[in-house]
Amino acid sequence: MNTLRGPMFMVLSMAGFAAEDALIKGLALRVPIGQIGLFLGFGGALVFGIMAYVQGYSLFDRKALRGAVFLRTFAELFAVIFMLLSISMAPLSVVTAVLQAMPLTVTLAAAVFLREPVGWRRWSAIVIGFAGVMMIVRPGASGFDPYVLLPLGAVVALTVRDLATRNVPATVASSQVSGWGFAAAIPGGVILLLMRGDPLIVPTALDWGLQALTLLAGILGYITLVLATRVGDIGLTTPFRYSRLVFGMLIGVIVFGERPDLLTLIGAFLIVAAGLYTLMREMRLRRSVTRA
């Protein structure tokens, strides 16, 4: 049973994030997207700020305001902007599929910028994965939807965030990192409001309730993701990240009436297959180094 805890928490986390995406997409029809970002930013920062305080930490600790943590938060700002725009303007199934390329972009960026060794097999997987992305986005094709490019911006920003996370000192608590991650949505929301020229509105009781559910889903996603990485074997747990694609596709089809075409489905399959292969190679190489 203990071996199942990690995968179970990971699936719960991905379900939480998929639910958050769906709620944001529905809310964007009623509330300006920038205002949603402000609510999530203030709400998430408050919750994790309290958690940090209970644990004996502070969000305003100098260690949480500089270096890798600062870079991570700065990248999160752009990730929030691109994610909110993507979810509100592009099909949810497409956004979710493109986001699955993140493990590949992290491997690529680590090889290029951190000089981490990457063999020909993983390079091949990266190329195949990006071919899958191109099958989904299809730039230059007739009927091309420019909004499907927005998730690519989110992938770039999230890749920088994940690389920065690798260098966050162990002395900085997860609650501090998460608190600042949510806080990044505050300036992100302001930028979106100014960029789109949307005025703030007075939410209805239903809007408040939906925003609270969105925040709850996001926080549960964060917490269960941390639990998944702490209690489960990484090799067994990480592949279940791709359950988010299943949840996202199902919600897109059932709730929003989306109909992913064959090329989108094939592209999603290639991305997931390439990501899983890359993960397997990385785990095998780590075990080889450990044994040596």
Question: pLDDT tens, 115-131?
Answer: 888 888 889 999 999 99
Residues contacting residue 100 through CB under 8 Å, at least 6 positions apart: 242, 244, 245, 268, 271, 272, 275
Has residue 289 got a pLDDT over 70? no
- Mean pLDDT over each residue of the chain, to the nearest integer: 89
The whole-number pLDDT of residue 141 equals 65
107 confidence band (pLDDT: 50, 70, 90): confident
Model confidence at 266: pLDDT above 90:
yes
Region 257-265 average pLDDT:
92
Confidence of residue 98 (pLDDT cuts 50, 70, 90): very high
pLDDT of residue 197: 95
Of residues 106 and 34, the one with the higher pLDDT is 34
| Range from 67-76, 234-243, 270-279 carrying the lowest mean pLDDT | 234-243
**pLDDT tens track for 122-163:** 899 999 999 999 999 887 665 677 888 899 999 999 999 888
What confidence score (pLDDT) does residue 5 get? 80
Helices (H), the chain: 2-27, 33-54, 67-89, 92-99, 102-113, 120-137, 150-165, 174-183, 185-196, 205-231, 234-237, 243-254, 262-291
Look at residue 113 in the predicted model and tell me its pLDDT.
Answer: 85
Residue 195 has a CB neighbour count (10 Å cut-off) of: 12
Q: Indicate the pLDDT class of residue 204, thresholds 50, 70 and 90.
A: very high
* pLDDT at res. 120: 85
- What pLDDT, on the 0 to 100 scale, is given for residue 280? 80
Instruction: Please give the residue that has the higher pLDDT: either 228 or 199.
Output: 199
The answer to whether 44 and 185 are in contact (CB under 8 A) is: yes
How high is the pLDDT of residue 3? 65
pLDDT at 151: 93
